[in-house]
Amino acid sequence: MKTTALITNDQVQKQDLEESEALSLLSSTQSIIKEAIQKLGFSSDMYELLKEPLRILTVRIPVRMDDGSYQIFTGYRSQHNDSVGPTKGGVRFHPEVTEEEVKALSIWMSLKCGITNLPYGGGKGGIICDPRNMSFGELERLSRGYVRAISQIVGPTKDIPAPDVYTNSQIMAWMMDEFSCLREFDSPGFITGKPIVLGGSQGRETATARGVVISIEEAAKKRGIDLQGARIVIQGFGNAGSFLAKFMHETGAKVIGISDAYGALYDPEGLNIDYLLDRRDSFGTVTNLFTNVITNQELLVKECDILVPAAISNQITAQNAHDIKASIVVEAANGPTTLEATKILDERGILLVPDILASAGGVIVSYFEWVQNNQGYYWSEEEVAEKLRKIMVDSFKTIYETSQAHQVDMRLAAYMVGIRKPAEASRFRGWV
Ligand code: GLU
């Protein structure tokens, strides 16, 4: 009894912590949006409009589990602003999903689409579940149930979902199939990140990592760092982190640190990336095969040239920002650096490429996928890669120049560039 009570208390405390972290993600996003809107000269009404999503739907999804029992899952779909066009953004399956987090993530999608000049507003979805403990059949029933629950507010010209944390092309395929059955016509443009045979795009699976590589290249040029032999630490070995490790290793950089949810590996001489990629499981876990494991927090402050947080939010904080040794930090995860830490890194002269720019490769190629679905004509991998590079390089340049011109850090510059489009579109529509 005593143990059960203890576990329950721990769980309550953990939940409180998650909720307050998500709240702080939302409130820090709002405070930067406020500053960006003021700097751009929009009215305070514009801030009132853009500080929260226009719409958020909470759904309860009953799923029959393999053992015959029923479990009711909670899911969300948040649509931040659809003045520019349909909303767009991924769906995450994670035990720590909260409504506040989904709201903040949908605002970030508006910013990402604004920065990269895509004809979308931001959306995001999430389901509170742990896919690591669910069977294929249970995941399929959950994915289909979610689509049925949100079907009224989504669609190829309304709101277009995509993969995110712990969701993949198989889940997108089930969701697309369910939506097509509901609408009674084939709807590939309802969702992106699909398998190629169902209208997926070449290069979508690796797009986020490719975008991060381009951000690293552009940032390295600004700091005069030669990527040949440059020492890189990557926190996280999921979709973005593992492909990034592979691509950086192939370009001749030295990947000296990686991590998963359970720990980190560090070797100043460089890790055996091919071996690690070969042994990682589908959730990006690999450190369980080793004994010389350090913690994620220890990894972040190791000596290196480029640090890439590619895992979860709130990793670089006021507590460790003074100890970061890298000269460039490129955020491949959503929200890995707190506001206080951003200021500290900026004061220390560390170049920080913010998440809404560095991780935009995924939604850019999702846009290409949707365009290809709409026109029914498919592009080569080279064509996708070339178009992705152009958007990433142009976006980096615009944000870097904005940060120089306004003497602000790269994050505020990215918010200024990102929020301008939904703000102008909302104003033209006469909303405020
Ligand atoms: N979930 C990804 C993101 O956060 C991709 C979204 C998309 O492809 O629409 O950017």
Which atom of ligand 1 sits closest to the CA of residue 365? 8
Which atom of ligand 1 sits closest to the CA of residue 160? 9
Q: Stretch 25-46: mean pLDDT, rounded?
A: 96
- Residue listed under structure tokens 């040794």: 325
- DSSP H or E segment with residue 280: none
In the predicted model, is pLDDT for residue 3 greater than 70?
no
Q: Taking every pair of C-alpha atoms in the chain, what is the biggest distance, in angstroms?
A: 63
Which atom of ligand 1 sits closest to the CA of residue 204? 8
Determine the 3-state secondary structure of 65 from DSSP: coil
CA of 191 to the centre of ligand 1 (A): 11
Crossing angle between the packed helical segments 239-250 and 207-222, to the nearest 10 degrees: 50
CA of 109 to the centre of ligand 1 (A): 7
- Asked if 227 and 220 count as a contact pair (C-beta separation under 8 A), the reply is yes
- Residue with CA at minimum distance from ligand 1 atom 8: 363
Say which CATH topology domain 9-186 has: Rossmann fold (3.40.50)
- Pocket-testing residue among 109, 166, 312, 364, ligand 1, by greatest number of atoms within 8 A of Cβ: 109
Q: How many CB atoms lie within 10 A of CB 424?
A: 16
The one-character DSSP state at 318 is: T
- Pocket-testing residue among 204, 313, 363, ligand 1, by greatest number of atoms within 8 A of Cβ: 363
Q: Stretch 300-311: mean pLDDT, rounded?
A: 97
CA dist., res. 23 & res. 167, Å (int): 24
- Asked if 139 and 171 count as a contact pair (C-beta separation under 8 A), the reply is yes
In the predicted model, is pLDDT for residue 7 greater than 90?
no
| Token pair listed for 64 | 């029959």
pTM: predicted TM-score of the whole model, two decimal places: 0.93
Determine the 3-state secondary structure of 63 from DSSP: strand
- Residue with CA at minimum distance from ligand 1 atom 9: 89
User: In the predicted model, what is the mean pLDDT of the chain?
Assistant: 94
Write out pLDDT tens, residues 124-147. Answer: 999 999 999 999 999 999 999 999
- Residues 313-343, buried b or exposed e (16+ Cβ, 10 A)? bbbbbeeebeebebbbbbbbbbbbbbbebbe
Positive/negative CA dihedral, 142, 96, 103, 397 = negative
- Residue listed under structure tokens 């605002």: 107
pLDDT the model gives residue 24: 84
What is the percentage of the chain residues whose pLDDT exceeds 90? 92
CATH, domain range 208-358:
3.40.50.720
Q: How many CB atoms lie within 10 A of CB 19?
A: 15
Which atom of ligand 1 sits closest to the CA of residue 164? 1
Q: DSSP letters along 67-128, please?
A: TS-EEEEEEEEEE---SSSSEE--EEEETT--HHHHHHHHHHHHHHHHHTT-S-EEEEEEEE
CA of 106 to the centre of ligand 1 (A): 10
CA of 32 to the centre of ligand 1 (A): 21
Q: Please state the domain extents for the chain.
A: 9-186, 208-358
- Residue listed under structure tokens 């909470």: 58
Which atom of ligand 1 sits closest to the CA of residue 108? 4
CA dist., res. 268 & res. 303, Å (int): 8
Q: Stretch 83-93: mean pLDDT, rounded?
A: 98
Which atom of ligand 1 sits closest to the CA of residue 359? 10
In the predicted model, is pLDDT for residue 263 greater than 70?
yes
Q: Stretch 223-249: mean pLDDT, rounded?
A: 96
CA of 346 to the centre of ligand 1 (A): 27
Determine the 3-state secondary structure of 266 from DSSP: strand
Q: Angle at the Cα of 332 (from 330 to 337), degrees rounded to 5?
A: 70
C-alpha distances (whole Å) from 226 to each of 135, 222, 231, 249, 305 are 45, 11, 10, 14, 10
Pocket of ligand 1 (CB under 6 A): 88-90, 112, 162, 164, 192, 359, 362-363, 366
CA dist., res. 129 & res. 167, Å (int): 11
- DSSP H or E segment with residue 223: none
CA of 388 to the centre of ligand 1 (A): 14
CA of 210 to the centre of ligand 1 (A): 14
* Active-site residue set: 124
In the predicted model, is pLDDT for residue 57 greater than 50?
yes
- Asked if 119 and 83 count as a contact pair (C-beta separation under 8 A), the reply is no
pLDDT the model gives residue 283: 85
| Residue (of 137, 147, 140, 156) closest to 182 by Cα position | 147
Q: How many CB atoms lie within 10 A of CB 426?
A: 22
The pLDDT confidence band at residue 2, using thresholds 50, 70 and 90, is very low
Q: Stretch 391-420: mean pLDDT, rounded?
A: 98
Query: Are the folds of 9-186 and 208-358 the same?
Result: yes
| Token pair listed for 354 | 């913010």
CA of 359 to the centre of ligand 1 (A): 8
In 120-279 the beta strands, taken as DSSP E runs, fall at 121-128, 159-160, 231-235, 254-260, 263-266
